[in-house]
Structure 1
Amino acid sequence: MSIEFIGIAATQETSESGSSTPAPAATTRDAISAQTEAGSARGPVVQPAYLRALAQAHEASGFDRVLVAHSSASPDGFTVADQILSHTDRLGVLLAHRPGFVAPTLAARKFATLDAFHPGRVALHVITGGDDADQARDGDFSDKPTRYRRTDDFLDVVRKEWTAAEPFDHEGDFYRVAGGLSAVRPASPIPVYFGGASEDAVRVGGKHADVYAFWGEPLAGIAERIREVRAAAAPYGRDPRFSVSLRPIPIPASTEAEAWDRAREILRLTKERAEEARKVFNLDHAEQRGSQRLLEYAAQGEVHDKRLWTAIAKTTGAAGNSTALVGSYEQVAESLLDYVSLGVSTLLIRGFSPLADARDYGTLIDLVRAGADRTAALDTAEAAVPA
């Protein structure tokens, strides 16, 4: 099984060191929107040279894609994605998009146009939206069940716009189209990634997802979630792939103790800045089932399985993918391969120092891919032995 690695894009530099006070060139709101849990933003919100360096570092390290994330305060994702694709040769983008703000026919053409300029390097990450306050900042006051029903309708139209060779009509609960037809259609299907842990998310994602994305839960939790999504996908004849998002904290050619020292320093910095972030954004992830699950695991213990660390999730209220793998490069690679053994084929890994970690993760990627190749070779050899 081929392993896909996804990193993270950012338009603003962050630093783990120094004061938690943002640099004067950025407003507090903009700085918080760009910082990692343990890092302060520095300089303007959009820094073209930094974005290029980050994208090229991911490409050099062997990543397949980078996630262009979305929030109500983020720069326009389509522009960011085009910059990444234009300044790299192979790297793809996983472009996050929230249904409900752009008509699905137009959104489909925007993705198809981007793909036409960069064939095969574009994927759609559907973010229905789990934070009511963040939705409201862009003028959406619908509740979560309504948003998931809207996402279902949205994706039905998107796929029609991508594939229809003749004008089509659509009449759903949220969208009506008469004679829809796009002059630009993807030469090959644009993959649809989907996230969410609620029953509504699994129901809609099972219908539409090519790749279903999970946050970094313990192995037993991921196995449970894979079974749930497969059951939801089966009535539609779909067989999705699966992604897990984790925050590796590896130390190359050093001891496990040094990795834990760095993890504790990241936690200290995170605690310094967590309250500031909450005050600026009034963040509330209490209704997100994915966050609830991570917090439940954090309450059960700080470390799960071999080295899944939950302290950052507990400190931040599990705002996003916030569980880490701590250890040497070899140990972290071994833990990532444990997820692969469950059927996970995409690993979204991002660190706490975005550019430095993107450069360092090349070693980790090589170790995981080599391990997966060895396992595949052993499985092939065992299958060839007569019973």
Structure 2
Amino acid sequence: MSVEFIGYVSAREQTEILDPSGPAVDPEYIAATALIHERGGFDRALVAFHSSSPESILIAQHAASVTSRLGFLIAHRPGFTAPTLAARQFATLDQISRGRVAVHIITGGNDRELEADGDHLSKVERYQRTSEYLKILRREWAGGPPFDHDGEFYRLRGASSAVLPYNSSGIPLYFGGASEEAINVAGELADGYALWGEPLANAAELVGKVRAASQKHNRSLKFSVSFRPIIADTEEEAWERAAVIQAQIEKQQSVILPTKNGIALDHAGARPNADNLPTNEGSRRLQAIAAKSARHDERLWTGVAQATGGRWNSTSLVGTAEQVAQSLLEYYRLGISTFLIRGFDPLTDATRYGRDLIPRVRALVEREDRLRRVAG
């Protein structure tokens, strides 16, 4: 089973410990980040989506224009663009980039944030819409004669597209969400399922649920797990850096006032409380894991998840490159073959991942697969 690495390209430099600076869209930063990932051996880079962030397809288009091999996982929320138009937008970029597009479907778990874009559907309704949306995407990408569609959320007459995906296999659809509704939609319609970094036992449980959901439809999904690796020359130095990162976040929270709509993408913002804690199932899982302990499975660290309320990909593997690579191998043994990794110091960390971590993981996976073949 081949292993895939996904990094992260954003419109400007900003993390939980780095306040945003400069223009909201920094073309030079986008280009530099994309090139670091390409040269570092990443397969793809995630481009995130938020109700207040720059548009993800356009950011990916610029990043694709300065690279030649790097693929892009473009976060996309169903329902804000007509599915037929979205299908043509993604297919157009896929043609321009020669097959380097994948789409990460995010139905959305923060009601207040979704309302900023005018979406007032319930969670159940959103997943029903997502299911219908993805079926239309796939139908238009399949080509053929014009088609009609009569559904709960969309009515189409004579839909068709002159532009199709670059590869005959189509555009991969990744899916996030840990609720039963999300798992059911992923099992039926996604190509890959993405989970946030959890302890091995929790991750195995979630992988098992999604795998069972996909088997009901005679399908097999790829699995992706997301981490924020903290790597240093020694394990002690890595844990020291983790402590500094948590202290920086908590210091920021002591001076930043709460906002009406909670916390923006990748920004620690106000200290979590009953009013701003996210309620999506993935965040609830991280909150419960972080409440038990800050450390799990030897080097899984939940300090940032504790500080931010588990709002996003916020768990870390902490140690030397060799130790973190070995930890990632344990997730590979669960059937997870894609690793989405990004750091708290984006450019420096991406460079180090490409130099020290990715080659080690690929070597471990190659050895693992070779031993499996020998064992029969």
**Both proteins in one fold, TM over 0.5:** yes
Write out aligned runs for 1:164-243 (5 A).
Answer: 164-188=143-167, 189-243=170-224
Asked whether the equivalents of residues 72 and 134 of structure 1 are also in contact (C-alpha less than 8 Å), the reply is yes
User: TM-score by structure 1 length?
Assistant: 0.91
Q: Take 1:168 and 1:242, find their aligned partners in 2: how far apart are those partners? A: 32
**1:218-258 alpha-carbon deviations (Å, 9 max, x no partner):** 0011111111011111122210010000010011xx22100
The amino acid across from 1:92 in the alignment is: G
Q: Structure 1, unaligned stretches of length 5 or more?
A: 14-34
Q: 1:277 to 1:351 in 2, by over 3 A?
A: farther
Q: 1:161 to 1:303 in 2, by over 3 A?
A: same
Write out aligned runs for 1:94-173 (5 A).
Answer: 94-173=73-152
Q: Take 2:57 and 2:365, find their aligned partners in 1: how far apart are those partners? A: 33
Asked whether the equivalents of residues 4 and 64 of structure 1 are also in contact (C-alpha less than 8 Å), the reply is yes
Partner of 2:26: 47
Q: 1:12, CA displacement in angstroms?
A: 1.2
In the alignment, structure 1 residue 325 sits paired with structure 2 residue 317: yes
In the alignment, structure 1 residue 273 sits paired with structure 2 residue 266: no
Q: Relative to total residues, which structure has the larger helix share, 1 or 2?
A: 1
Q: Structure 2, unaligned stretches of length 5 or more?
A: 264-275
Q: Take 1:120 and 1:265, find their aligned partners in 2: how far apart are those partners? A: 41
Task: State the SS of the aligned residue for 2:198.
Answer: coil
Q: Take 2:238 and 2:41, find their aligned partners in 1: how far apart are those partners? A: 23
Q: Take 1:335 and 1:67, find their aligned partners in 2: how far apart are those partners? A: 22
Asked whether the equivalents of residues 326 and 361 of structure 2 are also in contact (C-alpha less than 8 Å), the reply is yes
Partner of 1:338: 330
- The runs of 4+ residues in structure 1 deviating greater than 6 Å are none
**1:361-380 alpha-carbon deviations (Å, 9 max, x no partner):** 01100000000011111111
User: TM-score by structure 2 length?
Assistant: 0.94
In the alignment, structure 1 residue 370 sits paired with structure 2 residue 363: yes
Task: State the SS of the aligned residue for 1:41.
Answer: coil
Task: Choose the corresponding residue for 2:350, options 343, 346, 358.
Answer: 358
In the alignment, structure 1 residue 282 sits paired with structure 2 residue 282: no
Q: 1:273, CA displacement in angstroms?
A: 2.5
Q: Identity of aligned pairs, percent?
A: 51
Q: Take 2:145 and 2:227, find their aligned partners in 1: how far apart are those partners? A: 43
The amino acid across from 2:362 in the alignment is: R
**1:93-134 alpha-carbon deviations (Å, 9 max, x no partner):** 000110111000000000000001112200011010111111
Q: 1:164, CA displacement in angstroms?
A: 3.0
Q: Take 1:76 and 1:298, find their aligned partners in 2: how far apart are those partners? A: 32
The amino acid across from 2:148 in the alignment is: D
**1:152-190 alpha-carbon deviations (Å, 9 max, x no partner):** 010011111110311111111111111111111113210
